[in-house]
Amino acid sequence: MNTVVHIDPGPRLSEATIHGGRMYLSGMIPEDTSLDIRGQVKQALAEIDALLARGGSDRTKILSAVIWLADMADFAAMNAVWDAWVPSGHAPARATVQAGLNDPDMKVEIMVVAAI
């Protein structure tokens, strides 16, 4: 079946879409940009957990991830939080790049694709 399911669709984007046994999440960002990199990463990952659950998936089923950092100096701190979050044996394919994010106080944005 070619049905596409949109989770929390808006005029510009959906928080996630589901098609063909996969769930595509939009970039997840922290709610509180006053936090340090560790806090911001934890918040973004919590958003990912919640959205994956809504779509019938979880972090063990993540196929790929793209992480945008405002500053690559935060790479090690981001990895410390990421490594604690990813279940052992379930690390997805991943890329991390530095990018200008849409809020100057935002330090991270994370986008994942997961199986359902």
Instruction: Tell me the domain boundaries of the chain.
Output: 5-115
Question: pTM score, two decimals?
Answer: 0.96
Q: What is the pLDDT of residue 105?
A: 97
- 3-class SS at 71? coil
CATH architecture of 5-115: 2-Layer Sandwich (3.30)
The partner residues of 113 in beta bridges, in order of sequence, read: 24, 64
pLDDT at 2: 82
Q: Among residues 21, 25, 19, which one has the least CA distance to residue 49?
A: 25
Intervals of the chain under pLDDT 50:
none
Distance CA 47, CA 66 (A): 15
- Give ∠ CA 22-38-98 in degrees, rounded to 5: 65
pLDDT score, position 1: 61
